[in-house]
A and B are shown apart, each in its own frame.
Chain A
Amino acid sequence: MTDAYRPGGYAAASERIIRDEPTMRTAVTGAARSKDERRQAAWAQIDADAWRDWARDLKSHVLTHLDRYLEEAEDRLVQNGVHVHWAETAEEACRVVARIAEAHDARRIVKAKSMLTEEVGLNTHLEALGLDVRETDLGEFIIQLLGEPPSHIVGPSLHRSLDDCRRLFHERFGTPLDASPEALAATARQVLRDDFLQADLGVSGANFLVAETGTIALIENEGNIRISTSIPKVHVALVGIEKIVPKLEDLAGMIQLTARSATGQPIGNYTSLIQGPRRPGERDGPDEVHVVFVDNGRTGLLADEHAWEVLRCVRCGACLNICPVYRQTGGHAYGWAYSGPIGAILAPGILGLEESMPLPFASSLCGACADVCPVRIPIPELLVYWRERAAEEGLVPRTDAMAMKAWATLAEHPELFGAAAGALGAVPLKRVGRMLPVLRGWVEEREAPVASRKRFLDNRSTKEEGT
């Protein structure tokens, strides 16, 4: 990637990807469509509205009782023999993991796929300390070898084609350039199996954490998460504070709902329910389990009377798959861990609004994301909310603000509006549009229509006179 990997690089990155990387667009669109088709088929089997209402209400209940459930979870985890840590920022979360690694003299770390660790930049932090960090999810493994960030919440390498993977494995492991996907997977299995068996520390995220039992719940299909949390002597789970569910029965619902949305399955082929370290009489399992509760902007979002609803997100990626804007570029253009519509409304809370610009504007507001969200997050409303906040805080270009103000003046004064509409008919729209803010981007990509010399209202009055 040649563009700056931050949200501010969005315009340049998306333009470059669309212009220079047509294969990425093809791969992303194809994968997103296929994921969405599977989601649709899975949701067609269930009483979708009832499931979504329940999930919205459960997450809203948790978020409005989060203090109680965090304390209950902490008590239970400690009873289970789990070490509990709290991290207010990304840096703190990384330092906690580094301290645990140091305390165990750990050199080799295997990682289960975790978007929270991407969010806090854990790999970079640990690698700078000289630790050997290995991603074990096949998609994460591929992008780690390529030195790329994930381009999708669920399928981090979905922008890469089979041929990309063939070339990569040929260069790194000497497999033939025409190797089958099965042969490539077998090579990854062999390489990573050695890493699993030699790792000192396993790091995971958590899809959910059950307050009443202290259960860390993890959903996957490959088995790498189960192995990463079972074989190394120490397991560290980074858990966003919003990931709590009250009871095991609630977990049963959320696991199924998440799988149906993320991959169109009734459940992931592996679900881990981890209560703590290995107990007397058990053959294997880690001797130590640590949970790091991470805030990193979440309490700020919770305090916002509009934006808090984004914390219901279960990271299924359904809103990315359906989004016509995401499908054009994939996730890299968004410049941070979470892309697509959900990334655009999480970013202001986690990165700050200024750093997140222009992501709240990277949407056509078509509303498809809200239609598919399994926890009914009002994504388009929140995009508009952050746009308004950006305008209030002077974060949109002044020319855009002036253009919108001019439009508002016209819309509020019918005589001015009429005069402007009349003038429009005589103006070469494409040429003039290029000179104007807001319109410039629009007319560059499109053929401007020829404006009618007659106003719509004039048409109407002619008709009315005729009848």
Chain B
Amino acid sequence: MSPRNRILGYVRGAMSSRPRLPHPGRFDGRYLAGDDRLPVERFAEMFSASGGEVERFADLEQASDWLSAFTRDFESATVGATVPGVLRPRLPSSCPDLAPLAVSAAAGGVAETGSLVLDARDGRRTQLLAPTHVVFVYEGDIHATLVSAMVTLRPNLPSAVGLHSGPSKSADIGQILVRGVHGPGRILAAVIGAPEGP
């Protein structure tokens, strides 16, 4: 008998005289204090609290102007595959492991956890290897809860999704917090107002 069938056999044997307990229903994750803010406001607070930076723009044009100013200090960049032309920095392109700056487009955000939803189709190395990471996200794509984001992701899941909720950090050296251990030590969420993303 294969290990698979033996293991499943043991599991069924264990269950033979045990009541099968019900599913408790969908997680509703209640908080003690109510929060009637817009998802984008809560996202900004949560993302900042974990060490991320947040910039907000009314439209694509404003975001593009900010990017031009921000990228002035960088020599080159790696850019995600789904970043629209207007948000691509006017810098020489470099491979992700050498680039000082990465620019990605998020598939969405999550307010309650302060997370950016990063899709593998945008390019994983770009999301992970540069010391500074700018991520564009549309305000309308920010979900109030992680459950809501998961439900939206489900029909069109890529090979991998990364929820990035702050800079790379560790306290493994003497319990002292340091940033930029493996991933970007600086991450900026650049939130663009209505209209919603495609």
Chain A contacts to B: CB under 8 angstroms = 27, 30-31, 34, 44-47, 50-51, 53-54, 57-58, 60-61, 64-67, 70-71, 74, 86-88, 92, 136-139, 142, 155-158, 160-165, 181-182, 184-186, 188-189, 192-193, 196-197, 213, 215, 221-224, 226-227, 229-231, 241, 246, 248-253, 255-256, 265-279, 281-285, 293, 295, 299-300, 302-303, 305, 308
Contact = CB atoms under 8 A, between A and B. Distances in A.
Given A57-B24, A58-B24, A160-B174, A222 B181 contact: yes
A60 B112 CA distance: 26
Nearest to B164: A270
A50 B27 CA distance: 10
A264 B12 CA distance: 37
A273 B160 contact: yes
Interface stretch (B2-10, B55-63, B64-72, B134-142): B2-10
A146 to B, nearest CB: 12
B186 interface: no
Contact of A88 (B7, B170, B176): B7
Nearest to A46: B31
Given A65-B20, A86-B3, 12 more contacts: A45-B33, A46-B29, A57-B21, A61-B21, A64-B18, A136-B182, A185-B173, A226-B127, A231-B124, A250-B27, A269-B51, A270-B165
Contact of B18 (A71, A142, A305): A305
Interface in B106-130: 112-115, 120-121, 123-129
B128 A282 contact: no
Contacts of A57: 21-24
Given A266-B114, A274-B159, A285 B124 contact: yes
Residues of B contacting A: mostly: loop
Nearest to B150: A248
Contacts of B33: 45
Contact of B174 (A161, A221, A282): A161
Contacts of A224: 181-182
B180 A253 contact: no
Given A253-B147, A256-B146, A54 B27 contact: yes
Contacts of B6: 88
A139 B172 CA distance: 5
Contact of A256 (B113, B159, B172): B113
28 contacts: A45-B33, A46-B29, A47-B31, A47-B32, A57-B23, A61-B24, A67-B12, A138-B173, A139-B170, A162-B173, A164-B174, A188-B181, A192-B182, A221-B168, A223-B182, A223-B183, A249-B150, A265-B50, A270-B165, A270-B168, A271-B165, A272-B160, A273-B157, A274-B160, A282-B123, A282-B158, A299-B11, A303-B14
Contacts of B154: 213, 248
B194 interface: no
Contacts of B21: 57, 60-61, 64
A158 B159 contact: no
A293 B3 CA distance: 10
A245 B81 CA distance: 32
Nearest to B13: A303
Contacts of B161: 272-273, 275
B195 interface: no
Among B20, B22, B124, find the residue whose CB has the most chain A CB atoms closer than 10 A: B124
A223 B160 contact: no
Contacts, number: 273
B11 A66 contact: yes
Contact of B172 (A157, A192, A250, A293): A157
A106 to B, nearest CB: 20
A220 to B, nearest CB: 9
Among B46, B115, B146, find the residue whose CB has the most chain A CB atoms closer than 10 A: B146
Contacts of A86: 2-4, 7
Interface of B: 2-4, 6-8, 10-15, 18-33, 46, 50-51, 81, 97, 112-115, 120-121, 123-129, 145-147, 149-151, 153-154, 157-176, 178, 180-184
A279 B121 CA distance: 9
Contacts of B171: 155
State the 10 A-B residue pairs at the shortest beta-carbon distance, nearest first: A223-B183, A162-B174, A253-B27, A299-B10, A139-B172, A57-B24, A303-B14, A248-B150, A267-B113, A252-B146
A182 to B, nearest CB: 5
Contact of B157 (A215, A226, A246, A277): A215
B135 to A, nearest CB: 13
A64 B32 contact: no
Contact of A271 (B26, B115, B129): B115
Among A58, A61, A266, find the residue whose CB has the most chain B CB atoms closer than 10 A: A266
B162 A185 contact: no
Contact of B124 (A255, A283, A305): A283
A226 B184 CA distance: 12
A185 B112 contact: no
Contacts of A283: 81, 123-126
A61 B23 CA distance: 5
B159 A285 contact: yes
